[in-house]
Amino acid sequence: MGPVLEILQNTHMALYAIVFVISLIKFPLYKNTYLKFLPLILLLTLVTESLGMYINKVYGPPNIVIFNIYYFFYFSLFFYLFMKIIEEVKFKNYIKIGLGIFWLFYLNDLIFTDIFTESFTTSYIAGAGILIFSITLYYISILQSSLVLVIKNDLLFWVSVGLFLFYIGYLPIKIIRSWFLKLNDFFNILLIIQFSLIIVMYLCFLIGFLWMKKKS
């Protein structure tokens, strides 16, 4: 790994830890809302990434089983979060359907893909696509409510911005890396873009926690 990749990797791992700690510090501001699940998602990501790096360095690949399990809980928790926070009943039902579709894709991967040696790519792509759809529904619901007047101080808005930017940028990379994988300079460029997208996403999370107001 080149120096640029190493710097970006260390930076995004540091942001994982920093944002998680700040989410705990700010927890009293949103502990009585469904946003209380955010620290759990952040901790799950931090532990998964740290454990994955450790296994890869100490024992070598594959460490994919950790991420395959992680995908299920990560996407399911975010779908649940958006489903509960969005007030429009029609949108809630759309996300419920999306959650069911994701679970079907995950079940398909569990049956037909080796969880220990192969990435659950189809589950990931389905989850990311449905998450983008859920975020879009959230944005529409904001525009239809008074929340748009105080959007700067809404934590979920900034989390949604970070997630949206990351998955819009990373989905093509995920597809290329999974189905057209070649260890060359182009692949390293994709890694640089991936780490940069993660950093942008977590900076959005950080802004959200720092600017948020107490939710009732």
Q: pTM for the full model?
A: 0.91
pLDDT at 133: 97
pLDDT digits (tens, 9 = 90+) for 55-78: 877 776 678 999 999 999 999 999
Instruction: Provide the residue ranges of all domains of the chain, joining segments of one domain with +.
Output: 3-211
For 11-40, give one letter per residue: b (16+ CB within 10 A) or e.
ebbebbeebbebbeebeeebeebebeebbe
Tell me the C-alpha distance between 45 and 51, whole Å: 10
62 in the Ramachandran plot: left (φ > 0), alpha (ψ -120 to 50) or beta?
beta
Angle, CA 43 vertex, CA 37 and CA 49 arms, to 5° = 140
pLDDT at 61: 66
**Tokens linked to 34:** 């469904």
